[in-house]
Amino acid sequence: MRSRTPDRLCAEAVEVALSAVEEAFGPDVVGEHLGVVAEGDRVVTHLFDCRQPAYRGWHWAVTLTRASRAKSITLDETVLLPGDDSVLAPEWVPWSERLRPGDMGPGDLLPTEAEDLRLEPGWIGDSDYPVSDPLSDLLDADEIEVPPATPPAVGTIGAVAEEIGMGRPRVLSRYGLHVAADRWEEDYGPKTPMAQAAPANCVTCAFLVPMAGSLRQAFGVCANEFSPADGRVVSLAYGCGGHSEAAVMPKPLRPPPPVLDETAVEALPLHPDRHASVEESTPAEELGHS
């Protein structure tokens, strides 16, 4: 049972503990003596302040002990420990929980667990059902060589499934479909500000490309290059200002071609020649006078 009272000889050996930590880490990083803590029978830990700027709130812990009925002090260990107000690194999180969309790059491999809740077998009844290995032992390797896929044996369910176009060993489960739907609706769903201000929904838009499978009942792909959702999976209840029927522009009116009036009529001079009319009337006048 641990003794609450520090051993007297070990507690009085402050100089022994101080010299031990100064010898190990240097006198410049060791501060004043903070006290002693009883770790057990004839086992005492001396605490010293740490002066390193990067370890604010930390302290040096030097553990001393002695044998029963012995007066000589023995050094057990010297460590640096955090205090109540010290700066600590965040708690370690597994890589599978730290991974975020967009983190994968060229050459990266993302293994899936054999019992992934998002997936389910593409067919059942085959004893040689293939599953993807976690590849956890290969993640730290510099070069990862993925072995080639072995085709299913002739006559097995896997061979028949591949022949009729169902060659995927695993497909999305109902849980995987719901998770994907919730994720897609978060960015391009009916509750987004863009959809709230849209004149109509995507279900009536000509730029919506329907999806295959059961998800086509609620989602499609936007094909409008001017839309913020171009090339993205959108909910049928989503919408934006680029809706095909939001504001249909009428065709501009074309003026009729000009009509040239070519009616055949006798041309009348605007200014007749008076001298010609006088000469034509002279012979008649002469005949009258004669």
Q: Check residues 284 and 168 and name the one with the higher pLDDT.
A: 168
What is the average pLDDT score of the chain? 79
Q: What is the mean pLDDT of residues 67-79?
A: 89
Asked whether the predicted pLDDT for residue 134 surpasses 50, the reply is no
Binning pLDDT at 50, 70 and 90, where does residue 223 land? very high
Average pLDDT over residues 273-284: 57
Report field, pTM of the whole predicted structure over 0.85: no
Torsion angle, alpha carbons of 50, 51, 54, 58, to 10: 20
Euclidean distance between CA atoms 82 and 115, whole angstroms: 40
- What's the whole-number mean pLDDT along residues 126-142? 44
| Distance (Å, whole) CA 54 – CA 88 | 11
CA 75, CA 23: separation in Å to the nearest integer? 12
Q: Which residues contact 224 (CB under 8 A, 6 or more apart)?
A: 205, 207, 230, 240, 242, 244
Residue pLDDT, tens place only, 143-196: 445 445 565 565 565 555 565 556 667 788 899 999 999 999 998 999 999 999
- CA-wise closest residue to 129 among 176, 84, 167: 167
Cα separation of 90 and 71, whole Å?
Answer: 43
pLDDT at 47: 94
